[in-house]
Amino acid sequence: MDTATRIRLGFIAILWIVLCYIVVSSQPFSPRIAFVILASSIVVWVPLYKKYLKNGKRNDEPSGKN
């Protein structure tokens, strides 16, 4: 993973944490809030995990074209 990707993931992590803090601090904690945080974490982190961590280094060359 290159430096630019790490910086991008860092900014996304910071933004997600700040938004979760805003949601939690704006109202009393309840199961609904826990669900919102869990659902948002799945929506944000699963695609990023699949793209950057699970697949390792991506091959930027188009497949089948030489």
Name the DSSP letter for residue 35.
Answer: H
Q: How far apart, in whole angstroms, are the C-alpha atoms of residue 10 and residue 7?
A: 5
For range 45-59, the mean pLDDT: 78
- The answer on pLDDT for 64 being more than 60 is no
**Cβ-contact 12, 44 below 8 angstroms:** yes
What is the value of pTM for the model shown?
A: 0.72
Q: Dump pLDDT digits (tens) for 5-47.
A: 889 999 999 999 999 999 999 999 999 999 999 999 999 999 8
Cβ neighbourhood burial of 31 (10 Å; 0-12, 13-18, 19+): exposed
Distance of CA 17 to the CA centre of its chain: 10
Which parts of 27-57 fold into alpha helices (H)? 31-48
